[in-house]
Amino acid sequence: MIDKLNFAQRNLPIKSISASNQRLPRRLVTGRLAMTIQNMTSKELRQKYLDFFKAKSHAIIASASLIPENDPTTIFTGSGMQPMVPYLLGEKHPAGVRIADSQKCFRAGDIEEIGDNRHTTFFEMLGNWSLGDYFKKEQLAWMFEFLTKKLSLDSKNLYFTVFRGNEELGISRDDEAVEILKAEFKKAGLEAKAVDFSERDGLNGGRIFYYDESKNWWSRSGVPANMPIGEPGGPDSEIFWDFGAELKVHENSLFKNQPCHLNCACGRFLEIGNNVFMQYLKTEKGFERLPKGNIDFGGGLERLTAATDNKSDIFQTDLFKHIINRIEQLSGKKYGESEEITKAMRIIADHLKAATFIMADDKGITPSNTDRGYVLRRLIRRAIRYGRQIGINAAGGLWTKEIAKVVAHDYQTVYPELQKNINKVIEKFRAEEEKFGKTLEQGLKEFEKITDGQVAKKISGKEAFDLYQSYGFPLEITEELAKEKNCTVDGEACRAEMKKHQELSRTASAGAFKGGLADTSEQTKKLHTAAHLLLAALRKVLGAEVAQKGSNITAERLRFDFSYPEKMTDEQKKAVENLVNQAIKDASPIVCESMDLLKAKKIGAHGTFDSKYEEKVKVYTMGRSSAGSESPFSREICGGPHAGNTGELGHFKIKKEESSSAGVRRIKAILE
Ligand code: SER
């Protein structure tokens, strides 16, 4: 749903987008105070962050894929810490105990939030981690230094939140963080008052606020109560930037007549970063301390850029400037011209940027009716519908690929995979737009017919399903169209209909992924090892072109996606099973070595080599070489963890081999 509150900004003059490119200090008047801000491009900001932590002995690593490895908690990488989970749980990271990066992230859950000034589905998260090394004191002081000295953010506009504590969890309130922050503010000449957050009192003269676990606790699955056993998490301290009191209460605000506070949705305050003190593990007995405290910091690059520009609209930063310009050209409309146009342009810019990144990922996804492909389809089709609304494609030409070209160009030096895979991406956009374009007009007519003249009509599951089946309208688009007409949709019945037709098996919702986490239980480790043996066996049976396209491992089974154009025959499946079981029977030790990426490449390890950083990686070697060959059975770059010896695995069995998406097959397998 669109957060209406954020159109608080619509009555404010939209500053020229090109202003973000000026390098000279610019005088800004915020209403409360005047200040000088050193304008900085997002590229400079990203680099400053990495340089800052490099100077503090952090190894800079490349962004992991948007498609998570062995992490069933989300279908896309949604935070910088996700690829770090094994290391936060104690696995040794090959690059050491201090790591920093800029991670590509995508949050499918936010699709409907897009349209306001600060939400995006795709974003970059600047992250730094201490793996049992430094802790709270260093992190908060460094972050303060980075924000105020390196980004020249005025400490007067910085606010913090901390965890209020929870007796039931046995976790006390974070007075330690408060003391550290107070001292930092004092150095900057400010007296920082810490107060308990209360909605009634709002800011109440405070600069540091205690909130409960609904706001100041972080784990991949949210609040402590939702965390499964084996999941790490901890209290956090979030950082907010104040855009100024004039953005406060707005006539449509939910908070009308209520005092504004840091987490309220009026748009005045923007969360720009989160310091997580990752020190607990959920166990059967409650929360236990991890052997050592970890730091997990994440800061949204888009939001930090908005703060340094002091623009409350992230779509006006240089991370969106060229994309919005292109949408303006294509539509002949101007950003900011009306609320409707601004919202549509934000949705188009966000969705097509996200779709470009998802399709350009080395484990690239294609629009489809299942899993990630469905989310991607939804993004593209929703953008096309909004494009139509603001007059793009009047001449019937294909246009989504035009946005992809801008995205690939803008990010070429940071994410080279975009340019590398641009032709593939353009082709996917073309195919999807052509497909949807054929049915969109007719579908909209059909929708009009269904709702014609009926006030508050409830569109039946069957009608919504027909719009999906015949015209390619994802249910969510029908729901959105219905809302615009004050109608509703029987979504449940539609989903039941979809299930019945086995058209849609969406794993984006809970359910399909339930019951497992990127845990390090013995069985999960064994299945992870089996996944390596499986890839090696597939390459031996089907050919060396076979590449891994994704995997998902729980304690019960492994699921493995790989590139291959055809259904596997029974003989091929048997041959693969036999090879894996032979490697298990050989009972050879599994060897893990840490080495430079270049060396890993030289010795023939499989994995992604696109990194531009000189990284140390872990290489797992398993299984004996076959007669006449020098190479081991399997050698892959991987973070681990794995079993100690192939002999521990038991008997490997393929339960299913099926299509995952175009050109990608999926195997589900177990160890008996
Ligand atoms: N994991 C935390 C977040 O995503 C901080 O990196 O907010």
The pLDDT tens digits of the residues spanning 322-361 come to: 999 999 999 999 999 999 999 999 999 999 999 999 999 9
The answer on 265 and 137 residing in a single domain is yes
The answer as to whether 440 is a domain residue is no
| Residue 34: predicted pLDDT | 37
Mutate to test the pocket of ligand 1, among 79, 139, 301 (most ligand atoms within 8 A of CB): 79
| Residue 31: predicted pLDDT | 37
Does the beta carbon of 298 sit less than 6 angstroms from any atom of ligand 1? yes
> What does the block give as tokens for 570?
């029974």
With cut-offs at 50, 70 and 90, classify the pLDDT of residue 53. very high
CB-based contact 255:5 (threshold 8 Å): yes
Least confident of 37-51, 237-251, 268-282, 296-310: 237-251
| Residue 28: predicted pLDDT | 35
Give the DSSP H or E segment for 597. Answer: helix 597-602
Query: Of all protein residues, whose CA lies closest to atom 5 belonging to ligand 1?
Result: 298
The answer on 331 and 249 residing in a single domain is no
Mean pLDDT, rounded, of the chain:
85
How many angstroms is it from 459 CA to the middle of ligand 1? 39
How many angstroms is it from 219 CA to the middle of ligand 1? 8
Query: What single DSSP character describes residue 147?
Result: I
Domain count, the chain: 4
Convert the pLDDT of each residue in 524-542 to its tens digit: 889 999 999 999 999 999 9
| Contacts of 452 by beta carbon, 8 Å cutoff, 6+ apart | none
The answer as to whether 639 is a domain residue is yes
Mutate to test the pocket of ligand 1, among 129, 274, 277, 304 (most ligand atoms within 8 A of CB): 274
Q: Which residue has the higher pLDDT, 146 or 639?
A: 146
Mutate to test the pocket of ligand 1, among 49, 104, 217, 236 (most ligand atoms within 8 A of CB): 236
Range of the domain at 351: 317-433
**Global pTM?**
0.76
> What does the block give as tokens for 137?
């004191």
Q: Which atom of ligand 1 is nearest to the CA of 298?
A: 6
Q: Which amino acid is at 57?
A: S
Does the beta carbon of 297 sit less than 6 angstroms from any atom of ligand 1? yes
With cut-offs at 50, 70 and 90, classify the pLDDT of residue 508. very low
CB-based contact 490:458 (threshold 8 Å): yes
Of 298, 314, 330, the domain-final residue = 314
How many angstroms is it from 85 CA to the middle of ligand 1? 12
| Residue 186: predicted pLDDT | 98
The answer on 587 and 456 residing in a single domain is no
Least confident of 116-120, 411-415, 575-579: 116-120
Does the beta carbon of 307 sit less than 6 angstroms from any atom of ligand 1? no
Residue 505 clears pLDDT 90, i.e. is over it: no
Task: Map residue 157 onto helix, strand or coil.
Answer: helix
The answer on 74 and 55 residing in a single domain is yes
Average pLDDT, integer, range 304-310: 95
How many angstroms is it from 649 CA to the middle of ligand 1? 35
Length in residues, the chain: 672
Q: Tell me how far CA of residue 658 lies from CA of 258, 498, 531, in angstroms.
A: 55, 20, 16
The answer on 527 and 498 residing in a single domain is no
The end-to-end CA distance of the chain, in Å, is 46
Above pLDDT 70, what percent of the chain?
Answer: 88
Query: Of all protein residues, whose CA lies closest to atom 4 belonging to ligand 1?
Result: 79
CB-based contact 132:176 (threshold 8 Å): no
CB-based contact 506:378 (threshold 8 Å): no
Residue 22 clears pLDDT 60, i.e. is over it: no
How many angstroms is it from 218 CA to the middle of ligand 1? 7
CB-based contact 290:300 (threshold 8 Å): no
Among residues 119, 202, 117, the alpha carbon closest in space to that of 159 is found at 202
Above pLDDT 90, what percent of the chain?
Answer: 57
| Residue 502: predicted pLDDT | 52
Residue 394 clears pLDDT 60, i.e. is over it: no
Residue 648 clears pLDDT 50, i.e. is over it: yes
Q: What is the CATH number of the domain that holds 158?
A: 3.30.930.10
Does the beta carbon of 562 sit less than 6 angstroms from any atom of ligand 1? no
With cut-offs at 50, 70 and 90, classify the pLDDT of residue 26. very low
Query: Of all protein residues, whose CA lies closest to atom 3 belonging to ligand 1?
Result: 298
How many angstroms is it from 329 CA to the middle of ligand 1? 36
The answer on 218 and 335 residing in a single domain is no
Convert the pLDDT of each residue in 60-100 to its tens digit: 999 999 998 877 778 899 999 999 999 998 899 999 999 99
The answer on 496 and 406 residing in a single domain is no
Query: Is the bond preceding residue 641 a cis peptide, omega within 30 degrees?
Result: yes
Distance CA 581, CA 655 (A): 15
The answer on 223 and 252 residing in a single domain is yes
| Residue 393: predicted pLDDT | 72
Does the beta carbon of 52 sit less than 6 angstroms from any atom of ligand 1? no
Residue 19 clears pLDDT 50, i.e. is over it: no
The answer as to whether 444 is a domain residue is no
Distance CA 28, CA 571 (A): 71
The answer on 550 and 511 residing in a single domain is no
Most confident of 5-9, 562-566, 660-664: 562-566
| Residue 164: predicted pLDDT | 97
The answer on 638 and 600 residing in a single domain is yes
Residue 9 clears pLDDT 70, i.e. is over it: no
Does the beta carbon of 81 sit less than 6 angstroms from any atom of ligand 1? yes
Least confident of 17-26, 108-117, 234-243, 361-370: 17-26
Does the beta carbon of 127 sit less than 6 angstroms from any atom of ligand 1? yes
Q: Tell me how far CA of residue 281 lies from CA of 84, 107, 245, 278, in angstroms.
A: 15, 24, 40, 9
How many angstroms is it from 76 CA to the middle of ligand 1? 15
Does the beta carbon of 234 sit less than 6 angstroms from any atom of ligand 1? no
Of 280, 314, 348, the domain-final residue = 314
The answer as to whether 208 is a domain residue is yes
| Residue 349: predicted pLDDT | 98
The answer as to whether 447 is a domain residue is no
Query: Of all protein residues, whose CA lies closest to atom 1 belonging to ligand 1?
Result: 81
User: In whole angstroms, how large is the CA radius of gyration of the chain?
Assistant: 26
Convert the pLDDT of each residue in 469-484 to its tens digit: 888 888 888 888 888 8
Of 470, 495, 516, the domain-final residue = 516
Convert the pLDDT of each residue in 150-195 to its tens digit: 999 999 999 999 999 999 999 999 999 999 999 999 999 999 999 9
| Residue 614: predicted pLDDT | 57
The answer on 273 and 220 residing in a single domain is yes
Among residues 514, 550, 520, 554, the alpha carbon closest in space to that of 535 is found at 550
Query: Of all protein residues, whose CA lies closest to atom 2 belonging to ligand 1?
Result: 298
With cut-offs at 50, 70 and 90, classify the pLDDT of residue 451. confident
Distance CA 241, CA 223 (A): 24
| Residue 17: predicted pLDDT | 26
Average pLDDT, integer, range 449-463: 84
The answer as to whether 201 is a domain residue is yes
Does the beta carbon of 79 sit less than 6 angstroms from any atom of ligand 1? yes
Residue 8 clears pLDDT 60, i.e. is over it: no
The answer as to whether 394 is a domain residue is yes
How many angstroms is it from 215 CA to the middle of ligand 1? 12
| Residue 302: predicted pLDDT | 97
Q: What is the CATH number of the domain that holds 602?
A: 3.30.980.10
The answer as to whether 446 is a domain residue is no
Does the beta carbon of 218 sit less than 6 angstroms from any atom of ligand 1? yes
How many angstroms is it from 89 CA to the middle of ligand 1? 16
CB-based contact 357:380 (threshold 8 Å): no
Convert the pLDDT of each residue in 575-633 to its tens digit: 999 999 999 998 888 888 888 777 887 788 887 555 555 577 788 899 887 766 778 89
The answer on 562 and 475 residing in a single domain is no
Query: Of all protein residues, whose CA lies closest to atom 6 belonging to ligand 1?
Result: 298
